[in-house]
Amino acid sequence: MKLRLDKYLADMGLGTRTEIKEFIKKGFVTWNGEIVKKPEQKVDTQKDRVFYHGIEIPYHTMEYYMINKPAGVLTATEDKRQKTILDFFDHSIRNDLFPVGRLDKDAEGLLLITNDGALAHKLLSPKNHIPKRYFVIVSGIIEQQDMDAFAKGLFIPAYGKEKQKIEQKKETDRFAAFQAMPAKMKILFLDKEKKQSHVEIQIYEGKFHQIKRMCQAISKPVIYLKRISMGNLELDHSLKLGEYRALTEEEINNVRK
Ligand code: URA
């Protein structure tokens, strides 16, 4: 395939077409060993070699999948002993896919699997506050005060090694690791017999065990956790646990927005 140099670099996530034109003109890009200053230079994606600031930028097509993660599977690319989310994919097709963000081993639901590092960075950057929604079953009956506490921003108790760090810092609230950003909690169903609540929780950050720790902070431990959306991407509920499918054009455009 032949492409303009600026399009080639934009497809590889190096910036917007305007930014890319600028750095081509500044001489940051070489094409087959020569500095080229013309954004319209045609590049053969199979044969030509393009470098940006001395780093080779090979052309690869981007792929995007969603998988409905089952419990019992690690969100990792490989593990010697345990099954990982990438074991569901045929490695002979390509070997550069990775999951965007993490779900705990016992959690289920939406994971985006791609080789688009720029998109992953955008979705995971704490500065971007990308919303994530979860269906959660907790032990205990949720009350208005619990929803208010979520909306205000809960203080999350320190976990494991965080405890030592906080004690060393001698902060006023020695047991709070951080204050969670305001989050939304909506009641779906209160099971008074089992003393459990089914809720939907939306958060805008993704700290380690975030939902479990937030629910623990209101003394309503998580029994079941499933991610149902990430940014503009919604889990396709027709996917059975462990099933995946490629994103549609529309989903790709939405998630990139
Ligand atoms: N919050 C958690 O506690 N676990 C997850 O897997 C995701 C969010």
Q: Is the pLDDT of residue 172 over 60?
A: no
pTM of the prediction? 0.79
List CB contacts of 24: < 8 A, sequence separation 6 or more.
5, 6, 9, 36, 37, 38, 39
The arithmetic mean of pLDDT across residues 153-171, rounded, is 70
Ligand 1 atom closest to Cα of residue 222: 3
Whether the per-residue pLDDT at 174 is higher than 80: the answer is: no
**What atom of ligand 1 comes closest to residue 203's alpha carbon?**
8
- Residue 180 has phi, psi (to 5 degrees) of -70, 150
Q: What is the pLDDT of residue 139?
A: 98
Q: How far does residue 117's CA lie from ligand 1's centre (Å)?
A: 22
pLDDT at residue 90, rounded to an integer: 77
- Asked if 97 and 87 touch (Cβ cutoff 8 Å), the reply is no
Q: Ligand 1: which residues within 6 Å by Cβ?
A: 103-104, 107, 209-212, 225
Q: Is 173 a catalytic residue?
A: no
For ligand 1, the distance from its centroid to the CA atom of residue 107, given in whole angstroms, is 7
> Model confidence at 35, in pLDDT bands (50, 70, 90)?
very high
Indicate the SS3 state at residue 199.
strand
> Averaged over 57-72, what is the pLDDT?
92
Percentage of the residues of the chain whose pLDDT score is greater than 90: 75
